[in-house]
Structure 1
Amino acid sequence: MPRRDCKRAQGGELNLEFPEVLINSFRDLVHEKRDSVVVSKSPGRIEILGNHTDYNGGLVLTSTIDQFVWSLGIPSPETILHSIDYNETTKFNLDDLAVPTEIHWSDYAKGVFWAFHRRHHAVQGITGVVHGNLPQGSGLSSSAALEVSLVNLISHLYKLNILPKAKAMLAYEAERLFCGVSCGIMDQFATQLGKPNSLLGINCGNMLTQDVSIPENISFVVVNSMVKRSAGVILNKRRAECLEALSTLQESNWDIHSLSAVSTEDLLSVAEILNDNLMKRVTHVVKENQRVRDGIAAIKDNNPQSLGKIMIESHNSSRDLFEVSHPNLEILMTIATQQKDVIGCRLTGAGLGGNLLLLAKREMIENVVSEITNNYEQETGLEPETAICAIPGGVVVEDVSL
C-alpha cells in the first residue's frame, strides 16, 4: 500500500503514516483546495489473555497491532463521511442519530457523535474519509479502531480537552450503547491507551491499567483461519448467560456486582446454585482472570514457557467451557502445537472463527509461520493470512499540511 510521511502543520517531523488514497478520496469529496486536515490513525488489537472476561468486570492482557483504521477530515456543520473500503458515503447531523436495528458501518460513526452529544461535548460534524487495512470479522477489533480513530479526530478538530480513558469510553459507548454490541471496554482501551513495544493489562472492573514490557526474544504471530464471523450474536448470547448467572447468584444472596468477584475457592459453592451450562461460563471467567494474573507474572519473570502453557489452557477453556471455538481454529491449534518452535497458542477475540495467536522465539518465527501456513492450506484448502506482530502503541492524531 503506498504511504506518505506526514508533517505537523507547524513543520515538525512525525511518525504518522497514512495511505495516499485518503488524500485523493478527500479531495474528490470536498472539491476544493484545503491547506491542512487532521489525520487520526488507530491500531487494531490482539487479546493475549482474558477471553470474554472484559464484560464480566475481569482482567485482560492485550496489545496493539500494526494494522490500522485511518480517518481524515475537517469540521463542518453536518457529517459527510466516505468509506473507501465500502465505497459508500454517509451524510447525517445530530438530529439523525436514531439507534440502529441492524448495524451498518456508518452506525459506528453515528454512535461516536451520539456519545459526544450524550456527554454534552460541543461538537458539530465532520467532512472526511475513513479507510483501514484491518480484516473485518477476524477478531482484531476493526470496529473499535474506527470508533477510537473518529473520537480522536473529532476531539482534535473541536479542541476538546478529554482525557485518554474518557476518549476510550466515548468509543465504547458508541459500540455498546448506540450500536448495541455486547462488548466490554478492552478493545477501545487497548486501541486508545497502548504503548509501543508493551502489552496493556486492564482491570475492566475498576478501569485500572498497567503497561507490561515484553522480552525482546519472543514474538506473537496472528494467524487468520479465513473463517469470517460476526461476533455480535454469540457475544450477546454469552453475555446474557453471564448476566443470568450473576443474577441467579445475587438472588441467592451473593453480594457481588460481577462474575469476576467470584474466586476460585467459591466455585464449589457456586456449583450448588447454577445449572451446568451457567457453571461452565462462570468457571471459565473465574479461572481466566487467574490466567491473566499468572500470564503477566510469567512475562515479568521472562518465562515464555510458562506463558505458553497458560495460553494453551486459556484456549482449552474457551473451547470447552465458553464454547466459542471453531473446527478450523482447532485444526490450526493442532498444527501449531505440533510445531516444536511454538511456545504457546490460543484463539484470540470473540472466537467462532477469526484468528489464532501464536507465541514463539523471535529467531524461529519465520519457520513457524511457513510450516503452519503450508500445513493449514493442505488440510483445509484455505491459505491463512499471517502477521508477525509489531506493537505500535495506541492512536495517533495530528494536523497535516496538504
Structure 2
Amino acid sequence: MQNKLMETFKKLYGGEGEIHSYFSPGRVNLIGEHTDYNGGHVFPCALTLGTYGIARKREDRKLRFYSMNFEKLGIVETSLDDLVPSDKAGWTNYPKGVIWAFQKKGFEISQGMDVLIYGTIPNGSGLSSSASLEVLIGVMLKDLFGIEISMPEIALIGQYSENNYNGCNCGIMDQFAVAMGKKDCAIFLDTNTLKYEYASVKLPDAKIVITNSKVKHSLVDSAYNDRRNESEKALKDLQKVADIDTLGDLTEEEFEAHKDAISDEICRKRAKHAVYENQRTIRAVKALKENNITEFGKLMNASHVSLRDDYEVSCEEIDILVDLAWEIDGVIGSRITGGGFGGCTVSIVKNDAVDMFIEKVGQGYKEKTGHEAEFYVVEIGDGAGVVE
C-alpha cells in the first residue's frame, strides 16, 4: 500500500525532496458513548483500518491536497493565507482546520505542503474518519516541521479544530483513541482528567465484528450539538442541588436522588444516559479485566437500549441490526457505536458463530430495509505515527 501511494504521490507532485509516509487509524468504541463531553469514561480502541498519508514540505506557502478517495476532485490547491472554512473546500476543511489550530496554539508553520491521502475507513460509518484525518495531519506537522508536541496534545488540537473550525462540538474520545491506540488493547479514558490506562482485549474465543448499516442520516451534526446542549442544561440544573463539575461525577443513586432538579424532561433523559453509561463503562472494564466477557456483553446491550431510548441517537436501521444480532446464539453483545443516526454497530461474536452472524444479519437487514450491510471482522491496532 505504501509503495503504491508513494508512486502516485510522485506522479502527481514529482519525486524530488524528502517525502514522508504516515498512518492514522480509525477507532471503534466498545462502550461509553456520548460520555466524553460529559466528563465520563470511554473505552475505545484503534483499528487497523485507517488513513494513509504521504507528504512533503514546500518552499512556498502553497497547500496542495489530493485524496485517492475523491479522485475526481483532483488536486485541491489553497495556501496558508486561506485557512478559512468554506463549503467549496469540502474534505480539505479538516486538514486546513488542523493547520489553523496549530497556528492558534502558537506553533509556527510558515511553509506549505504537498499531501496525498488515502482512507480505508468507510465515510459516514461512525468509525472516526474525520478524527483519523485530523490526527494524521497533526503527526505530519510534528514530523515535517520538527514541532515538539505530545500525542495527547495532537489529539486535543484535533478536537479543537473540529469544534472551532469545522463546527462539530465533539468530545475528545475519537482523537485520543486515534492518537494513543495500542495493539490488542482498548483505552480506558477518564475524559474529565485525561487519565488513561490500557486494558488488554484479547478474545481467544470471540471476534469484534463491525456492521456498517450503509446509512447516515443528515441530522447527525446538528443533533450531536443538540445533545451536548441538552446535557449542559441538565448539568446546570443539577449543580443547583449537587456539588458536581460534570455529569460523570454522579453515581446512578445520586442521579436518582437529584434528577427532579432537572426542569426539562428531555434534558433529564439525556443526563440519565450520561450518568448510567459512565457507570456501565466502569463496570464493563472491570468485567473485562476479570475475563467476564458475558457481563461485558450484557453491559454493551444495556448501552444500546439507553442510547436508543434515553439519548435517542439511534435510528430504525441501526435498531434492526442490533435486534437481529441479539437473536443469534453466539453473540455476546451488540450496540450502536459512534455519534449515531446511522453508521455502525459493534458486536462481540463467538468464533464459531461469526459466519452465521454475517449471513443471518446481512440477510435479515436486506429484507427489512433494502440496504446491503457491510461487515468488518476487525483487529485492534496501534495509534497514529510515521511509517518508516
**TM-score tier after normalising by the smaller chain length:** over 0.9
Q: Are 1:47 and 2:29 matched, yes or no?
A: yes
CA change 1:53–1:102 in 2 (3 A) is: farther
| Equivalent position SS for 1:151 | helix
Provide the residue aligned with 2:20 in structure 1: 38
Provide the residue aligned with 2:147 in structure 1: 160
Q: Are 1:209 and 2:173 matched, yes or no?
A: no
Q: Are 1:293 and 2:275 matched, yes or no?
A: no
Provide the residue aligned with 2:256 in structure 1: 268
Q: Are 1:349 and 2:331 matched, yes or no?
A: no
CA change 1:19–1:182 in 2 (3 A) is: farther
Determine the C-alpha separation between the residues in 1 that align with 2:147 and 2:107: 8
| Equivalent position SS for 2:168 | coil
Provide, for residues 168-223 of structure 1, a one-character-per-residue CA deviation record: whole Å limited to 9, x for no partner: 11211111222121111100010010100111111110001110101332221000
Determine the C-alpha separation between the residues in 1 that align with 2:102 and 2:244: 31
Q: Are 1:130 and 2:133 matched, yes or no?
A: no
**Post-superposition shift, 1:377?**
1.9
| Equivalent position SS for 1:95 | coil
CA change 1:151–1:163 in 2 (3 A) is: same
Provide the residue aligned with 1:80 in structure 2: 64
Provide the residue aligned with 1:259 in structure 2: 247
Q: Are 1:378 and 2:367 matched, yes or no?
A: yes
**Post-superposition shift, 1:58?**
1.0
Determine the C-alpha separation between the residues in 2 that align with 1:338 and 1:102: 45
Find the partner of 2:132 among 128, 132, 145.
Answer: 145
Determine the C-alpha separation between the residues in 2 that align with 1:362 and 1:394: 26
Q: Are 1:69 and 2:57 matched, yes or no?
A: no
Provide the residue aligned with 1:6 in structure 2: none
- Contact 2:287 / 2:296 at 8 angstroms: preserved in 1? yes
- Contact 1:25 / 1:84 at 8 angstroms: preserved in 2? no
- Contact 1:215 / 1:299 at 8 angstroms: preserved in 2? no
- Contact 1:200 / 1:209 at 8 angstroms: preserved in 2? yes
Letter in 2 for 1:190: A
Q: Are 1:117 and 2:117 matched, yes or no?
A: no
Determine the C-alpha separation between the residues in 2 that align with 1:98 and 1:254: 42
Provide the residue aligned with 2:319 in structure 1: 330
Find the partner of 2:308 among 319, 324, 327.
Answer: 319
TM-score of the superposed pair, with normalisation by structure 1? 0.90
Determine the C-alpha separation between the residues in 2 that align with 1:305 and 1:341: 11
Provide the residue aligned with 1:56 in structure 2: 38
Provide the residue aligned with 1:8 in structure 2: none
Counting aligned pairs with the same residue, the percent is 32
Q: Are 1:178 and 2:165 matched, yes or no?
A: yes
Provide, for residues 242-292 of structure 1, a one-character-per-residue CA deviation record: whole Å limited to 9, x for no partner: 111122333x25433222122222223432211211110011000000111
Provide, for residues 151-171 of structure 1, a one-character-per-residue CA deviation record: whole Å limited to 9, x for no partner: 101111112221111111121
| Equivalent position SS for 2:380 | coil
**Post-superposition shift, 1:35?**
5.8
**Post-superposition shift, 1:234?**
1.2
**Post-superposition shift, 1:42?**
0.7
Letter in 1 for 2:52: W
Provide the residue aligned with 1:226 in structure 2: 214
| Equivalent position SS for 1:296 | helix
Provide the residue aligned with 1:340 in structure 2: 329
**Post-superposition shift, 1:102?**
8.6
Provide the residue aligned with 2:235 in structure 1: 246
Determine the C-alpha separation between the residues in 2 that align with 1:41 and 1:195: 14
Structure 2: gaps spanning 5 or more residues? none
Provide, for residues 315-363 of structure 1, a one-character-per-residue CA deviation record: whole Å limited to 9, x for no partner: 0000000001111111111211110111110000111111111111234
Aligned runs of 1:351-370 on 2, under 5 Å? 351-370=340-359
Letter in 1 for 2:254: D
Provide the residue aligned with 1:396 in structure 2: 385
Determine the C-alpha separation between the residues in 2 that align with 1:103 and 1:65: 28
- Contact 2:208 / 2:348 at 8 angstroms: preserved in 1? yes
**Post-superposition shift, 1:100?**
4.6
Determine the C-alpha separation between the residues in 1 that align with 2:116 and 2:194: 31
Letter in 2 for 1:299: L
Letter in 2 for 1:377: K
**Post-superposition shift, 1:368?**
2.0
Moved over 3 A (4+): 99-103
Moved more, 127-136 or 286-295: 127-136
Aligned runs of 1:299-310 on 2, under 5 Å? 299-310=288-299
Letter in 2 for 1:118: K
Determine the C-alpha separation between the residues in 2 that align with 1:106 and 1:28: 21
